[in-house]
A and B are shown apart, each in its own frame.
Chain A
Amino acid sequence: MLSPRLSGAAIDAIEHEAGVQFPVVYKYVLLMIMLAAFTSLTSWALSAIMIRLSRNVVSKMRKDLFDHMTTLPISFFDQYQTGDVISILSYDVDTVGATLSTDLTQILSSLITVVGSFVMMLTIAPEILLIFVVTIPCSIGVTRWRAKIVRPLFSKRSRMLGAMNGYAEEAVSGLKTIRAYHQEEEFNNRFRTHNDNAVNATWKADHTAAVTGPTVNLINNLSLAAVSIFGALLYMAGGITLGNVSSFVLYSRKFSGPINEFANILSEIQSSLAAAERVLGLLAMEPEPADAVDVQPITDCQGHVEFRDVSFGYTADTTVLHHVSYTAEPGKVIAIVGETGCGKTTMINLLMRFYDVTEGTILLDGVDIRQLPRDDLRQQFTMVLQDTWLFDGTVFENIAYGRDGVTREEVVRAAKAAHIHDMILSLPHGYDTIVTGSGNSISKGQKQLLTIARAMLMDASMLILDEATSNVDTQTERRIQDAMLQLMHGRTSFVIAHRLSTITGADCILVMDKGRIVESGTHEELLAKRGTYYELYHAQFDRPNEAA
């Protein structure tokens, strides 16, 4: 703001009647340079502050989103496309962030100019200002009207980009299968649809928003025309001096500049509001129900588990478990067998409170597990699933994952017990080899052994093995038998396995069929019954010639 004055003063000194006043000129020139340095420094500082501020907000928002995700019920992860979630965390959050860092600063500085010019114009010619009484509401009306139209389009753009991301992520994760069936072309075509939807939604939003700026500009230009016409007429009628008209015009231009800018920014704000909607939508998702207020922390868990008349369905209209009741004494091994889809894994889901029972209760040491802190409850279990999960980190980190402060020796001991030590040593960097998600040189069975080693380092009072060794060969399985027994020793263990040979030693075998327990007892008792278990058990020893 000061700069024109300084240069003006310098020019006055040049224009001086007594010739050019060099000392004065030098003074002002020096002042100008200093001012330029000062302005640049402050504007840099200002934008640095805004950048830090907005980056902090963005990073906080992303962190909050992620943290919130970790509180969501497990059904969320079974339903939402990873790519869509990624899109919220990147595109939507960044869009909101961009508005914060650039647009807000602009709005602030514009606002100052607008108010300043308005006051100046008011002092010059209140009559002409009447024009703005018409045009400003017009501008506001137009921007609001456009915003109303554009907003849903931006929402759609966010959604479509999310859907496209979801599809791309899914397809990339299935590339191996797509290649095997040579369906690249087909999947390309499907992606084409998603891509078209995304670019069309983007286009539609931008295309529609593209009119807002020029339209507001049009109104400003129209008001400029009106100002000059009426200014001129007013002058001719003797109501105003020409100089005042021209300064009025100058201020009105100053005034309309920021308004134009504001209209342009407004469409960006619309897009970030639409993005914010998705961010808030995810944040608004109901987390796992909070622990009851009167929960008692678990102290000294015995591992006595009782299912009391439990029924459950994943959706309201289907029931997958019917009136299941049984009791597991502390330290005993409970095997659950039955045809695939009979509800074995569902029982585990309920036990871990990934889902809550529809009817009946599950009791741990005589307390309804819904009355226990969820985290405490889960900590009582060590769990090995068929679906091995390794993350992007070293072998050491993956094994040590279950517990804090695990030493190298402990990891090596666990790996040896799980018969995976030699394989690890054969890797390029041994225990420090990075296991990547695709991790090709590590087989599925080896991954299972790694997760078993991971489980061995945890000390929980109960153990869940859901098809933990389904991809491990029989010899290795037998070699780790001792380790597994040790793992189960003194722990209430729930074992799901198809290889019945691995569970013959169980204290109790529950045989399930279509969501009900149809038989239970020890291996010998059940064989003697000659029922479902007997059939299942003998099915595995059949001969091909019998089968044929």
Chain B
Amino acid sequence: MRTLGQYIKPYGWRIALQMCVKISGTVIELFLPSMLSIILDEYAPVGNRTGVWEMGLGMILCAFLAWLGNCCANRMSTNISREITRKLRFDLFRKVTSLSAAQQDAATDASLVSRLTSDTYNVHNMIDRLQRLGIRAPMLLMGGIIVSLLLEPVLTLVLIATLPLLAAITVWSSRKGVPLFTRVQEGQDKMVRKVQENMSGARVIRALSRTQYERDDFGMVNDDLAARQRTADLTMAKVSPATSFILNAGLAIVVLVGAYRVHSGASEPGTIIAFLSYFTIILNALLMVTRIFVMYSKGSASARRIEEILHMPVDLQQEDAAASADREHIVFDHVSFSYNKNYDNVTYLTFRLGYGETLGIIGPTGSGKSTLLSLLIRQYDVDKGEIRIGGKPIKTLTPEELHSRLGVVFQSDFLMADTLRENIRFGRNIADPEIFEAIDCAQASFIHQKDGMLDHELTVRGRNLSGGQQQRVLISRALAGDPRILLLDDCSSALDFRTDRELRRALKERHGQATTIIVAQRVSAVMAADNILVMDKGRIIGQGTHDELVASCPMYRELCTLQLGGDAA
């Protein structure tokens, strides 16, 4: 909650002002009954018609003033909560985009989504409601207690004696409430994940006729969420009956004590009657306070979940280290890495790649090819060894240095519901002619046939393109920034051979100066490379040019035989 406090703090004065306006509105409204009693008790019995009219008009005036005050206060509170929510949600999103891949994996996408949406919404509600109710209830409570103290201090003490009990209930409720509402939000995460899975896997689920299974499974997740919500609600629903019981019981004791006081002549029955009417105000105010606490529990459970993300340490810090005297562009120096820190996914990777050279990587599935690329662009930090670009360890590079003029295509890369132009530009400042050049090189000329060409809108995940078209849009994206480093991870798996061949030819002609790493299944895609790594089980088991590897690496030779029809050399 402390972080949330920092978001609220700048609005402290505005909140104070809002509360003042709210208080004045409320107070003005409270004049009305007394003006009314003046009319009925003073003017009416003596037949003072002008007095009745004047006071009546006064009431009307007060009514309008109260209206003005309440409207203003309500609107001010919506202004304030808007600003706080705007900033909080934006900062959360900014933090999410700055998370490292490892942090993202740990938090899970579904949970990040529900924190960005449902949790920020809960916090918004809390801030908004607290402003509207937060001042009125304590004001009435304090007012009620003070007046009753003046009226009958001893009886008030009886009432005050119940306060520790009430405080205990409130503490209990927020102790219980926060974890309960946290559990609700976790249930929400699961629901989000289930929906995500079903949205992305719709085809497979139907193809496997698992619709009923998925329905049942969602039913379970849904029931679980409903049960968590019910538990939280039911627990919170105990608070106000408990509070009102304690107060009412207290009232009964007040009457009893009052009886003794009257008996001993220390008090008047009339005072006790007046005391009872103030007591109603106190009761209502307290019930409002308990409602505020319920809201607070819900809001603060969400606020904590948001803070968990906001407080994540900055991973992948930029470090200071001496540059080495590499002459090569990219150097892997005994690099080892493990995703789960249990067993290494890649072990002792060592290679050097000169400026403008091409590196091909080939090897069985799961041999660490994609991991190598992830490490190079610092999605994860290596556990052992060092990666250097241009002689500088990548840990010392600023993100700009590392990522600008980098072109990369991942396996199953990200296309969004936006125009083709935006999908290719991807936020970078790239003009249309350059985009067309990239499209041309990426063999994505099909774009010319689309309605509106670059303005053609893709649907979610680019689903209105075929697999091969998607890949070529992604390649266009990688090429559009005139990359100095180009990383292509199995990016032509959905392309037919002819297109693939044209692509390779164009790459060589137009982006020959870029240092390129190509991960591929096909020998033909890597055999022209200056250097080829053959990987297996996270290790480099062969390194060299095509001819060298044919001579030295049995696995590579086998691949050639398989794919190139026997005639390897």
Query: What sequence of 0s and 1s flags, for each residue 427-471 of chain B, a beta carbon within 8 Å of any chain A beta carbon?
Result: 110000000000000000010000000000001100111111101
Query: What sequence of 0s and 1s flags, for each residue 407-424 of chain B, a beta carbon within 8 Å of any chain A beta carbon?
Result: 010111110110000000
Q: Which residue of B lies closest to A404 (CB)?
A: B213
Interchain nearest-CB distance for B65 vs A (Å): 10
Q: Are B269's CB and A78's CB within 8 A?
A: no
B559 contacts partner chain A, Cβ-Cβ < 8 Å: yes
B313 contacts partner chain A, Cβ-Cβ < 8 Å: no
A319 contacts partner chain B, Cβ-Cβ < 8 Å: no
A352 contacts partner chain B, Cβ-Cβ < 8 Å: yes
* Most chain A C-beta atoms within 10 Å of own C-beta, residue among B36, B62, B253, B528: B36
Residues of chain A from 62 to 88 with CB closer than 8 A to chain B in the complex: 62-63, 66-67, 69-70, 74, 76-83, 85-87
Of B9-17, B140-148, B229-237, which stretch is located at the interface? B229-237
- The docked-state distance in angstroms from the alpha carbon of A447 to that of B466 is 21
Q: Are B496's CB and A444's CB within 8 A?
A: no
Interface range for B: 35 or more
Interchain nearest-CB distance for A284 vs B (Å): 19
A170 contacts partner chain B, Cβ-Cβ < 8 Å: yes
> Which residues on A sit within 8 Å (CB–CB) of B225?
59, 62
Query: What sequence of 0s and 1s flags, for each residue 218-254 of chain A, a beta carbon within 8 Å of any chain B beta carbon?
Result: 1001101110110111011000001001100100000
Interchain nearest-CB distance for A351 vs B (Å): 10
Interchain nearest-CB distance for B505 vs A (Å): 5
B327 contacts partner chain A, Cβ-Cβ < 8 Å: no
Query: What sequence of 0s and 1s flags, for each residue 192-212 of chain B, a beta carbon within 8 Å of any chain A beta carbon?
Result: 110111111111111111110
Of A110-118, A180-188, A516-524, which stretch is located at the interface? A180-188
Question: A203 with B79: in contact, given A36-B245, A354-B203, A444-B370 (CB under 8 Å)?
Answer: yes
Q: Are B490's CB and A39's CB within 8 A?
A: no
Q: Are A59's CB and B497's CB within 8 A?
A: no
> Which residues on B sit within 8 Å (CB–CB) of A444?
365, 370, 411-412, 490
Q: Are A32's CB and B248's CB within 8 A?
A: yes
> Which residues on B sit within 8 Å (CB–CB) of A486?
none
Q: Are A172's CB and B218's CB within 8 A?
A: no
Q: Which residue of B lies closest to A537 (CB)?
A: B497
Q: Are A169's CB and B113's CB within 8 A?
A: yes
Q: Are B249's CB and A62's CB within 8 A?
A: no
A106 contacts partner chain B, Cβ-Cβ < 8 Å: no
Q: Are B402's CB and A182's CB within 8 A?
A: yes
B24 contacts partner chain A, Cβ-Cβ < 8 Å: no
Residues of chain A from 294 to 324 with CB closer than 8 A to chain B in the complex: 314
Query: What sequence of 0s and 1s flags, for each residue 1-26 of chain A, a beta carbon within 8 Å of any chain B beta carbon?
Result: 00100010011011100011010011
Q: Are A176's CB and B410's CB within 8 A?
A: yes
- The docked-state distance in angstroms from the alpha carbon of A340 to that of B245 is 74
Q: Which residue of A lies closest to B233 (CB)?
A: A51
Q: Are B406's CB and A180's CB within 8 A?
A: yes
> Which residues on A sit within 8 Å (CB–CB) of B199?
77, 80, 82, 85
> Which residues on B sit within 8 Å (CB–CB) of A191?
90, 93
A36-B252, A540-B563 known; 8 new pairs, CB 8 Å cut-off, are A25-B259, A48-B237, A171-B93, A341-B466, A389-B197, A470-B521, A474-B563, A542-B497
Give the top 9 A-B pairs by smallest Cβ distance, nearest first: A340-B468, A445-B365, A186-B427, A182-B403, A36-B248, A544-B528, A174-B414, A210-B74, A221-B63
Q: Which residue of B lies closest to A168 (CB)?
A: B116
Question: A385 with B117: in contact, given A28-B255, A203-B79, A436-B105 (CB under 8 Å)?
Answer: no
Question: A402 with B208: in contact, given A43-B244, A165-B113, A471-B365 (CB under 8 Å)?
Answer: yes
- The docked-state distance in angstroms from the alpha carbon of A54 to that of B114 is 22
> Which residues on B sit within 8 Å (CB–CB) of A352?
203, 206-207
B71 contacts partner chain A, Cβ-Cβ < 8 Å: yes
Q: Are B40's CB and A48's CB within 8 A?
A: no
Taking a contact as CB atoms closer than 8 A, the residue among B101, B403, B508 that contacts A548 in the complex is B508
- The docked-state distance in angstroms from the alpha carbon of A472 to that of B522 is 10
Q: Which residue of B lies closest to A21 (CB)?
A: B259
Of A143-151, A325-333, A373-381, A487-495, which stretch is located at the interface? A373-381
Q: Are B113's CB and A378's CB within 8 A?
A: no
Interchain nearest-CB distance for A440 vs B (Å): 5
Q: Are B370's CB and A443's CB within 8 A?
A: yes
12 contacts between A and B (CB under 8 A): A33-B249, A36-B248, A47-B241, A55-B229, A186-B427, A203-B78, A215-B71, A225-B32, A232-B52, A340-B496, A444-B412, A498-B496
Of B151-159, B317-325, B338-346, B382-390, which stretch is located at the interface? B338-346
- The docked-state distance in angstroms from the alpha carbon of A438 to that of B240 is 44
B511 contacts partner chain A, Cβ-Cβ < 8 Å: no
Q: Are A195's CB and B93's CB within 8 A?
A: yes
> Which residues on A sit within 8 Å (CB–CB) of B446?
341
A339 contacts partner chain B, Cβ-Cβ < 8 Å: yes
Interchain nearest-CB distance for B319 vs A (Å): 18
- The docked-state distance in angstroms from the alpha carbon of A40 to that of B283 is 13
Q: Are B464's CB and A498's CB within 8 A?
A: no
A383 contacts partner chain B, Cβ-Cβ < 8 Å: yes
B82 contacts partner chain A, Cβ-Cβ < 8 Å: yes
B377 contacts partner chain A, Cβ-Cβ < 8 Å: yes
Q: Are B497's CB and A47's CB within 8 A?
A: no
- The docked-state distance in angstroms from the alpha carbon of A183 to that of B404 is 9
Taking a contact as CB atoms closer than 8 A, the residue among B203, B379, B410, B459 that contacts A385 in the complex is B203
Q: Are B49's CB and A228's CB within 8 A?
A: no
Interchain nearest-CB distance for B100 vs A (Å): 8
Question: A345 with B466: in contact, given A20-B262, A213-B70, A385-B203 (CB under 8 Å)?
Answer: yes
- The docked-state distance in angstroms from the alpha carbon of A402 to that of B201 is 13
Q: Are A214's CB and B343's CB within 8 A?
A: no
B1 contacts partner chain A, Cβ-Cβ < 8 Å: no
> Which residues on B sit within 8 Å (CB–CB) of A498?
493-497
A132 contacts partner chain B, Cβ-Cβ < 8 Å: no
Taking a contact as CB atoms closer than 8 A, the residue among B59, B204, B238, B377 that contacts A225 in the complex is B59
- The docked-state distance in angstroms from the alpha carbon of A28 to that of B495 is 89
Residues of chain A from 343 to 383 with CB closer than 8 A to chain B in the complex: 344-345, 352, 354, 375, 378-379, 381, 383
- The docked-state distance in angstroms from the alpha carbon of A159 to that of B418 is 18
Q: Are B237's CB and A177's CB within 8 A?
A: no
- The docked-state distance in angstroms from the alpha carbon of A457 to that of B244 is 62
- The docked-state distance in angstroms from the alpha carbon of A459 to that of B468 is 30
Interchain nearest-CB distance for A213 vs B (Å): 7
Taking a contact as CB atoms closer than 8 A, the residue among B226, B413, B555 that contacts A177 in the complex is B413
Taking a contact as CB atoms closer than 8 A, the residue among A70, A188, A378, A449 that contacts B97 in the complex is A188
Q: Are B467's CB and A345's CB within 8 A?
A: yes
> Which residues on A sit within 8 Å (CB–CB) of B513?
none
Taking a contact as CB atoms closer than 8 A, the residue among B99, B197, B269, B522 that contacts A11 in the complex is B269
Q: Are B96's CB and A446's CB within 8 A?
A: no
Interchain nearest-CB distance for B163 vs A (Å): 17
Q: Are A467's CB and B467's CB within 8 A?
A: yes
B527 contacts partner chain A, Cβ-Cβ < 8 Å: yes
Query: What sequence of 0s and 1s flags, for each residue 466-503 of chain A, a beta carbon within 8 Å of any chain B beta carbon?
Result: 01001111111010000000000000000000111100
Q: Are B226's CB and A58's CB within 8 A?
A: yes
> Which residues on B sit within 8 Å (CB–CB) of A56?
226
Q: Are B496's CB and A339's CB within 8 A?
A: yes
Interchain nearest-CB distance for B207 vs A (Å): 4
Q: Are B193's CB and A383's CB within 8 A?
A: no
> Which residues on A sit within 8 Å (CB–CB) of B19?
none
A122 contacts partner chain B, Cβ-Cβ < 8 Å: no
- The docked-state distance in angstroms from the alpha carbon of A474 to that of B562 is 8
Residues of chain A from 424 to 462 with CB closer than 8 A to chain B in the complex: 426, 428, 436-438, 440-446, 448-449, 458
A89 contacts partner chain B, Cβ-Cβ < 8 Å: yes
Q: Are A19's CB and B263's CB within 8 A?
A: yes
Residues of chain B from 231 to 285 with CB closer than 8 A to chain A in the complex: 233-234, 237-238, 240-242, 244-245, 248-249, 251-253, 255-256, 258-260, 262-263, 269, 272-273, 276
Taking a contact as CB atoms closer than 8 A, the residue among A62, A63, A392 that contacts B193 in the complex is A392
> Which residues on B sit within 8 Å (CB–CB) of A29?
252-253, 255-256
* Most chain B C-beta atoms within 10 Å of own C-beta, residue among A70, A86, A383: A86
Q: Are A232's CB and B469's CB within 8 A?
A: no
Question: A438 with B402: in contact, given A59-B226, A181-B427, A191-B93 (CB under 8 Å)?
Answer: no
Interchain nearest-CB distance for B495 vs A (Å): 6
